[in-house]
Structure 1
Amino acid sequence: MNRTSINEPAREVPVLMEADVVVVGGGTTGPIAAIAAARRGSKVVLIERFGSLGGILTLGLNTKPSGAIVGGIALEIWNLARSVGGAGADYMATTKTGGVKIASPTDPEIMKMLLTRLCVEAGVEILFETFVSAPVVENGAVTGVIIEGKGGRQFVGTKVLIDCSADADMAAKANAPFVMGSGDAEAKMQPVSMYFIMKNVDLNRLAEWARTCDDVPARAIPHDEEGLAYGLWLTGFNGMLQRFQKETGVKLQRDNITLKTADGQMYVNATRVLGVNVFSPKEFTAAILECYRQIEGVARFLKERVPGFEQARLGQVSPILGVRETRHILGEYTLTGPDSRGETRFEDTIAADNSALDIHDPKGGDVDFQSMPPYEIPYRCLLPQGVEQLLVAGRCISADHEAHARSRNMPACMATGQAAGVAAAIAVEQGVPVRKVPIGKVQAALRELGMPLHAEEVRA
């Protein structure tokens, strides 16, 4: 039987609950949005398909924002993590193009607990292990979402929906316009990858070797042993990787490797799969299998070629694939490359971001990682065209492919999540559409949270 489709019978869907604000996605962005809205008194429901919060930061073992965290709820959380030994001090990394200020990595397990605790303390209702299959749109405005779980299909009503799915899933299913990747005929997107941990690494030996190794041009190497737990960051190994592949026949897919520590463990960013359609179950699965193959090869390279890894072994592999780029919504404004270089001042700015430029070449070249001046993100980038009562936050905001190289990073994602949460709550308070929310009131609330709004307000 060669069926191309089936008919699904209509059915009534029971209502589980009603909320003021529903946040879809409990990754890096969603918890910040939920906390921001709930702290203003909104009834908030946060829906997450996994059993913990943090997404790529925690489950994905990424651990570290690519850049500085300059204020707001995100800085509050990082300082809280530091107070319980779950993060270190920020550090300045030396790269081929200059220094890059980087927020300290965090312990992913501690961060899971802290994000959950702050959500609960703010009054957020969390629905774990729950998949949101579709938004419900009536008369052009979102009125709720259909969720799926072991209890079947249910409905959660809302006055405002915040899409923190990373892939703009809710916006796309609400028929909001979007582009894929670069938005041109090729639809180029940054590649996917998967983090893993190596255990039993001699950090002192590795650090001493790396200080004088020309093949590790980008680095942050603490001078004290205590600092190694959260402050060792190394990127490079290009020549060593080329020789290893030539001599062993092992085929890897990246020109370089990034190593970083968190709580004394070594986190490795070294895999890459190009041209993956993450909306295809077959291609998504194939990418995971390819990452597994590459992880085995990289682990062998580290053990055989890099001092300090002689007794190391594979400790943990991320259970999720790291996806850098898919949909970009078409919002009321699209952040451009020049905007992301700090060339534009916006009257409706909701955050000044100081993330690094972090481009993984869609064609497979080397990683471009460098510091750039702070820039501003306008509220209009969070407002998808054609759908009311919907905000989008995280890496799928309205930004072009070039600007995305900064706005996709965690500090920017958390900042847009915070702004979306505040704006949603104010819209509910005042009984106005999110598209008409008074931006001055949103900005005043963000300033109260300690968030700089203009580029010149970011501390050096």
Structure 2
Amino acid sequence: MIERFGSLGGNLTLGLNTKPSGALVGGLPLEIWNLARASGGAGEDYMAVVKTGGVKIASPCDPEMMKMILTRLCAESGVQILFETVVSAPVVEGDTVKGVIVESKTGRQFIAGKVVIDCSADADIATRAGAPFVMGGGGEAKTMQPVSMYFTMDRVDLVRLSEWAKTTDDVPARAIPKTVEGLDYGLWLTGFNKSLRAWQEKTGVKLQRDNITLKTADGRMYVNGTRVTNVDVFDPVQFTNAVLECYRQIEGVARYLRETIPGFEKARIEAIAPVLGVRETRHVVGEYTLSGEDSIEGTHFEDSIAADASALDIHDPKGADVDFQGLRPYEIPYRALLPLGVEQLLVAGRCISADHAAHARSRNMPACMATGQAAGVAAAVAIDTGVSVRKVSVATVQQKLRALGMPLHGDEVKGTM
């Protein structure tokens, strides 16, 4: 496993996102969360009230504990992790990926692989190997969901905040625990639109987002309140400018919370994510492209490798309010993990073959974890049986996924709405 940072988890841990934005319905993702719960690193699932009714959400995790859990599980399973190592290019012979070139403190090295799985989120290896792709909703930065940056605050009076949240109409989407103990992992509040707008008009501070989401993990407050639109994250200057703009907005959001929201009077910024939260870039074009209709209507696929219960979570590319709603589970076909034109390569995570509308669900952590699980199993089956990943027995892959406890079809998932 080649990892460009010094810990595993990506946006879940380093990005301080912490929450799957949907239920974890089985398999290794649920096993990992149950391990976190057993060690006090996550809470119980909760039903959040949103504009379409209710949606079941796995509780946030403690990102520091999750770093240790993920690394330990890999090490115990015999995975060789290479931290602080960047994959710079694939090595391709004909149309087949034979391995990757990496850069580390040692210098440049070649790592051979019978199968390569691209979990870079941006499809870096797949596209450099020649796989076709679509950028965002049609090729320009303005068609992609905006970038953000999480931060945490301490010294927040959670009891005072939760009591106030019960009385206001400015937090329409919420999960408020009934007990004080539940506040550690179970408080989730989204909204603040009216007061945020009024505060900006009063102070003259201009932010780029209409709403704010607050959530707790191990009693710490995580804040999702920044937004930068029209960013080409592959341009280092634009990327850097987006980080600087997020820093400016973080100062403004923290000030708004302290001056406006009960419970934040003594709060201060504790930590800022060291990575920019990028929601959307390249969508690989695979043997099948998951459509928005598929993800909403729950299209049945014979080659489904996961049923996903992620919420529909759209941050409008033009900067409008967030559309977050619970929908019935949908299915992800194995073909969406197979890029066209390139052999012995699988993609997993938010760069799978899905259109802009389907991406509103498939980009979320439950789906990313599920496709990663499926890609790993498919690669192992292909190697064990001596066939290519494109010709692997999907039935065998499905059998092994079921043995891990992963539901494959939408009607096998209950109680997520």
- Give the TM-score, by structure 2 length: 0.99
Q: Secondary structure at the match of 2:213?
A: strand
1:100 partner amino acid:
V
1:401 partner amino acid:
H
Shift in Å at residue 94 of structure 1?
Answer: 0.4
Overall identity of the aligned pairs, in %: 73
CA contact (8 A) 1:337 1:402 kept: yes
What aligned pairs does 1:136-285 form with structure 2 within 5 A after superposition? 136-183=91-138, 188-285=143-240
Residues 433, 337 of structure 1: alpha-carbon distance in 2 compared, 3 angstrom cutoff? same
Q: Which runs of 5+ in 1 are unaligned?
A: 1-45
| Cα distance in structure 1, aligned partners of 2:142 and 2:268 | 38
CA contact (8 A) 1:104 1:231 kept: yes
The answer as to 2:12 corresponding to 1:57 is yes
1:315 partner amino acid:
E
Q: Secondary structure at the match of 1:419?
A: helix
CA contact (8 A) 2:298 2:328 kept: no
Q: Which position in structure 2 is the counterpart of 1:370?
A: 325
Q: Which position in structure 2 is the counterpart of 1:76?
A: 31
Shift in Å at residue 96 of structure 1?
Answer: 1.7
| Cα distance in structure 1, aligned partners of 2:309 and 2:140 | 31
CA contact (8 A) 1:107 1:263 kept: yes
1:411 partner amino acid:
P
Number of equivalences: 415
2:17 partner amino acid:
N
The answer as to 2:286 corresponding to 1:331 is yes
| Cα distance in structure 1, aligned partners of 2:42 and 2:392 | 36
* CA deviation map 1:406-425 (0-9, x unaligned): 00000000000000000000
Shift in Å at residue 140 of structure 1?
Answer: 1.0
Identify the match of residue 41 of structure 2 among 67, 86, 94. 86
1:341 partner amino acid:
I
* CA deviation map 1:186-228 (0-9, x unaligned): 7600000000001100000000000011001110000100000
Following TM superposition, the consecutive aligned residue runs of length 4 or more in structure 1 with deviations greater than 3 angstroms are: 184-187
| Cα distance in structure 2, aligned partners of 1:275 and 1:374 | 31
- Give the TM-score, by structure 1 length: 0.90
| Cα distance in structure 2, aligned partners of 1:213 and 1:139 | 62
CA contact (8 A) 1:342 1:455 kept: no
Q: Which position in structure 1 is the counterpart of 2:271?
A: 316
CA contact (8 A) 1:342 1:376 kept: no
Q: Which position in structure 2 is the counterpart of 1:424?
A: 379
| Cα distance in structure 2, aligned partners of 1:382 and 1:88 | 31
Q: Secondary structure at the match of 2:143?
A: coil
The answer as to 2:269 corresponding to 1:295 is no
Q: Secondary structure at the match of 1:353?
A: strand
Q: Which position in structure 1 is the counterpart of 2:362?
A: 407
CA contact (8 A) 2:142 2:318 kept: no
Residues 187, 305 of structure 1: alpha-carbon distance in 2 compared, 3 angstrom cutoff? closer
The answer as to 2:355 corresponding to 1:361 is no
1:101 partner amino acid:
K
Q: Give the superposed CA RMSD.
A: 0.8
The answer as to 2:401 corresponding to 1:446 is yes
Q: Which position in structure 2 is the counterpart of 1:32?
A: none
The answer as to 2:279 corresponding to 1:346 is no
CA contact (8 A) 2:312 2:325 kept: yes
Q: Which runs of 5+ in 2 are unaligned?
A: none
